[in-house]
Amino acid sequence: MIFKRITGGSPLRRLRCKQLVLTVFTVLALLIMLSYKSYIPVKPNYLSRNLKNGDDILNGSERRNNVAFIPNDLHKQQADMESGQIQEMIAENGIVELEATEEIPNRSKTAYYNGVPVYYPEETDTKVNVFSERKMTQNGFRASINGANIPEIRAAPFIPEKRVVHFDLKGAPPKVSYLEQVFQIISKLGATHVLLEYEDMFPYANDLSIIKAKNAYSLNEIKSMLSAAGSYNLEVIPLVQTFGHLELALKLKEFSHLREVDESPQAICPSKNSSLDFVTDLIEQIIAVHQSSKFIHIGCDEVFYLGECNICKTKNRNSLFLQHIVKIAQFVRNKGFIPIVWHDMMIHMTFSELKRSGIGNLVEPMIWVYAEDIYRFVPETEWKKFSDVFSTFWSASAYKGAFGETLILPEVKRHIDNNANWLAVMRSEGTRFKNGVRGLVLTGWQRYDHFAVLCELLPGSLPSLAMTLSLVSNARIDLPIAKKVYQVLECINSPKYESFFDLTYDPKLVDKLAYCFFPGASFFKALYRLEKLQNEVDKTWKAATYERGWMTDYNLRYNFSEPSRVDEITSELNSLISSVTVLAKNFIEAMDDIFDVYTVQEWLEQKILPLFELLGKLKSRKKSLKSHKAWKVRPFTSIVDWKKYDLNLEILFKVEKRSDYLVT
């Protein structure tokens, strides 16, 4: 019939019929395309992150905490649901809102909820979201929505064979007696090794004796530490920097001749024979005390100065780096140890450069990313390159010291995200390597480098360490595992510890662990009070000097203010000073069994003294402003020296100097 209408009749009628049919087919095609689009996963906006602190650089219009990957079929199911149905699914299964998704080719499918992968044990009756105490059926999530089952999501678990806890000891050594207690805790939670980074805390001897700190461990203390680790079946891996981060020695005049650049003590010059002699001396003294160790970490990360001295600048930078590492690695191999190196200096090198150097047969790379998005910093192309060069690799996550140089408490949720994502990456990428994954190190940085102030200390980070270590030791965190953590952290027998933790409302676990008494618990709890007090002091100072109009710098400069307003603004000043004093005494008591007096003093200077000083300035400002009983008449003759700001305002401020409004 349609064909007859098109072919029959007048030419004008045939033309109109053809146009009508074409329009109908165009509309149908558009409808089909729109329908198909709903099945295509939404591509997430990516963030660029600093590997250590995870700082965000937006690459899109939306900020995201991390990148989530969900299988296409689940995303399709989600796309087909109405909003109310999604909320019903969330309510029934305890799942936080599903995020934008993307399936990556040639990578195993991993289900993520709220940016965190769901890991399932191979042989168990229940499977649990790493952030949820709600259990699922043996077949996975099976919530029925209008008769349609949510598809089962299953991801094979990955538990690294070697689970290593890193202790950064530089410049603030915990007492050996305290470390022994921590070794016992991590052994119970699944650790197999400890990575000890002594830096200036090692008792170097002979020509190197001048580089050790005055409060370094004694040789007997080192032996006691190693014995304690062995008693809890923890193998020890020593870490000694051999290229960059050698500030402990290069800061001294006696070793300044080894610097790559004269103005910085960060890295040695690899072209000097004396540099190699210095590094091998470091290694020999370390391995002499660690004869039972199998591995030694030789550092080599963040070599900020390379190829810049008169000798080195004539050579290829990558060749300089690789030649130095090969020499060190051969030395370590000849001593009977397997050298480990950080990966970051090799990530931009070509396969040919790495292969020609022979480094693949000498060292094992440790790939470190502390932010949530691992692939952002080590994309698939790099994994392929590393697997073509090396037969195995180590991963390095973090439980503290990654998200801010001056933090006092770790952000537990971010560290759990980081470790959970590492498990997924190791499971996916480990198959590329001939000998798979060697292990995972949970790093715990105490300073960002030798010159930096202290960040999170060990006793305040034990909850984060306990949770992240439990995750990587079990490939999940469910209620039974959480209960074990509570038990190991010596939490009281209470209904409070019969339930799961909520990192959305308690991201640092200070509320959940309020009644736990692990070693250093009093320090951990006091840190939360310190955070609140820091906010109160900052808020008071800002209000007094910037937001209110009677105690600003201008008021102080001309001693011009209304006393009752000053009293009003500083009404809580004495209370704040008293609170800081009490808290300082609490910290001194809490730290006494953990650190030596030098570390306690340094930490108080960095975290408590600024509060005293800020409140002291406010008190002095109050005293000055209230000391006047009579005030000058405006306008005031400016007492600001504008010339030092390159502003010549003499003409503007040239007024008759009358005594009735001159400020003295």
What's the pLDDT tens digit per position in 544-556? 999 999 999 999 9
Name the nearest CA neighbour of 253 among 284, 195, 211.
211
Q: How many CB atoms lie within 10 A of CB 409?
A: 21
Q: What is the CATH number of domain 162-491?
A: 3.20.20.80
pLDDT at 17: 67
How far apart are alpha carbons 537 and 543 in whole angstroms?
A: 10
Angle between helices 521-542 and 609-626 (to 10 degrees): 30
How far are the Cα atoms of 91, 96, 266 from residue 151, in angstroms, in the given order? Answer: 17, 17, 54
User: Which helix H or strand E contains 556, and what residues bound it?
Assistant: helix 553-557
How far apart are alpha carbons 77 and 187 in whole angstroms?
A: 43
User: Is residue 585 pLDDT above 50, yes or no?
Assistant: yes
Q: What is the architecture, at CATH level 2, of domain 523-629?
A: Up-down Bundle (1.20)
How far apart are alpha carbons 81 and 97 in whole angstroms?
A: 13
How far apart are alpha carbons 38 and 57 in whole angstroms?
A: 29
Angle between helices 462-474 and 412-429 (to 10 degrees): 30
Q: What are the catalytic residues?
A: 302
How far apart are alpha carbons 232 and 220 in whole angstroms?
A: 19
Spacing of C-alpha 530 from chain mean position = 21
Question: Position 436: which residue type?
Answer: G
Spacing of C-alpha 103 from chain mean position = 26
Is there a contact between 440 and 192 (Cβ–Cβ < 8 Å)?
Answer: no
What's the pLDDT tens digit per position in 434-490? 999 999 999 999 999 999 999 999 999 999 999 999 999 999 999 999 999 999 999
What's the pLDDT tens digit per position in 490-509? 999 999 999 999 999 999 99
Residue spans of the domains in the chain: they are 2-37, 162-491, 523-629, 632-664
Q: What is the CA radius of gyration of the chain?
A: 31
pLDDT at 637: 85
User: Are β-strands 235-239 and 116-117 bridged in parallel, bridged antiparallel, or unpaired?
Assistant: unpaired
How far apart are alpha carbons 625 and 553 in whole angstroms?
A: 11
DSSP output for 71-117: -HHHHHHHHHS-HHHHHHHHHHHTPPPPPP--PPTTS----EETTEE
- What is the end-to-end Cα distance of the chain in Å, rounded? 105
266 backbone dihedrals φ, ψ, rounded to 5°: -80, -40
Domains 162-491 and 523-629 share a fold: no
What's the pLDDT tens digit per position in 323-370? 999 999 999 999 999 999 999 999 999 999 999 999 999 999 999 999
Report, as an integer, the average pLDDT of 290-310.
96
Residue that the structure tokens 């190829």 belong to: 307
